[in-house]
Chains A and B, each alone.
Chain A
């Protein structure tokens, strides 16, 4: 083999792999610089950390989404935010601000996550129903349970202080949530790229027929992806509760669209077979920076949703036309 000649080509493959991540990073820089020009207070260390902190939750939900998306078959999980809300609402009254009850809360969260994920996974992979429809209906059910649970009474309870300090507090200027996000990101990246789980997941997403003939139980893998997504979403619900301090009816649902948008902007193909968590995190940061800018310009929710929708549509059509020109 002619290594001298092949080095540049191999470098190009690596570059192709990370090109989208670089693009997102440049986009983030662009938003901050543009914001700084328009509003002098926009760019500061505090502001950047604040953005990253807020983006962390989107990024964590994006992890759920990425795992399901990477498994292919048109997988998406629209129930993640509602799942988190339900967990938060129920565990809030249970914990009632006491640390020693955190373990039970965690146990309940995981149990909820498994149940919800199993329902989603079984319906989509074994009954072959469209994942979006199933998870959307699941979202309705979960919201329904929350509505029923809180009906006619105020949601009581507070998160355990550990959760509060983990999710909401800062160490100096450094937000503590990053102590969760960064190890998670490292672990996820290692699992995806260096463990059999990650490679099997990507294989199933890239070509289910090949994976099937290679002796992989495709349905099982996709079902497990939904279970993992469910468990993660429930645990994120605890963190979200820690960040907000109280539970309320739609604390999680606002994260569903951003989580998908972050995955798409982060360069993860919705057709499955790939995944890059760094890209998803950067996608989340970009969306948060953009939201901050829109708020700074006086556009509230309306501008945020509209912009998110338009960006998602444009990125999708860009990829679609890329795919066709090939």
Chain B
């Protein structure tokens, strides 16, 4: 028993070196810097703007986190996001409100398909996840380009409720006033959190961790590992679907190439959130923290007046530092 206490060491340092608490700490630091830099940070308007800016990456990162915890990795999430925006804007016809519902149904079905195809490759065929999803990312890109060679497309009017509910005609006054404080983007993120909250309390949620932590052990304990990994991929697709709703509502158009850069960002967010790339370890909710950290860092870069052209470069460097940093720490720990 004394072994355990020895390992814990000085409680405060121990707490700091837990990946969760260090990412929480970084988040707080980033928030403080942002508050200092942005004078009107606490105004409702800018809070809403921030939530709108952060929501897509948060949703993508949470979906990615589920796949990573289950022992996989999804390089196709950005392409899938683009595909969903293209499908939504293709099915919808501006003057027929009913097509909005059709679009939701069709896109959701396609999201399930996307998840199942990735899941078959990762779970049942046992092809290395990175390679499967690399291949599928081009399938999604191809279909998206087929539907929408150039950005554009139509949306129905009420679709704006996923972005700015008050701009929808005939919306009840209550929602209209609520929208001033609670943006739809926040509700989408909450839906995502709720989804995981429910799943995490079922067998599937438990098994996602078990499979990612040690597939062999999970298998001999009677867990259907392939099915579990497939379900993780499907959940990821649902999160991407939620992000797509927001994008289309915000931009009123679909774009086959918009999602590409978000893939690697979502992976970085997961890592920054203290979730192990090797699976089984870390809290899905901390992908949200990781995504917020990355977005806050981009905002700091924005305030630092770095030209727009440097954005990709800087975010790439952040990603590599974010991924290599924790690995470096782990590597040194192992050596000792």
Contact = CB atoms under 8 A, between A and B. Distances in A.
B144 to A, nearest CB: 8
Interface in A275-326: 300-310, 312-313, 316-317, 320-321, 324
B199 interface: no
Contacts of A152: 309
Interface residues of B, number: 48
Nearest to B319: A137
Interface in A124-162: 126-130, 132-134, 136-145, 147-148, 150-152
Nearest to B139: A309
Question: In this complex, which of B131, B137, B140, B314 has the most chain A Cβ atoms within 10 angstroms of its Cβ?
Answer: B131
B16 to A, nearest CB: 22
Q: Is chain A's binding surface mostly helix, strand, loop or mixed?
A: helix
A130 B73 contact: yes
A58 to B, nearest CB: 14
A302 B142 CA distance: 4
A133 B323 contact: yes
Interface stretch (B119-127, B151-159, B235-243): B119-127
A304 B73 contact: no
B135 interface: yes
A76 interface: yes
A141 B135 contact: no
Nearest to B142: A306
Given A76-B134, A133-B277, 15 more contacts: A76-B130, A132-B75, A133-B264, A137-B320, A140-B261, A140-B315, A148-B313, A151-B308, A152-B309, A260-B134, A306-B145, A308-B142, A309-B138, A316-B125, A316-B135
Closest 4 A/B residue pairs (Cβ): A306-B142, A144-B313, A151-B309, A309-B138
Interface of A: 74, 76, 78, 123, 126-130, 132-134, 136-145, 147-148, 150-152, 257, 260, 270, 300-310, 312-313, 316-317, 320-321, 324
11 contacts: A74-B128, A74-B130, A76-B131, A76-B134, A133-B264, A136-B264, A139-B316, A300-B149, A306-B141, A306-B145, A313-B121
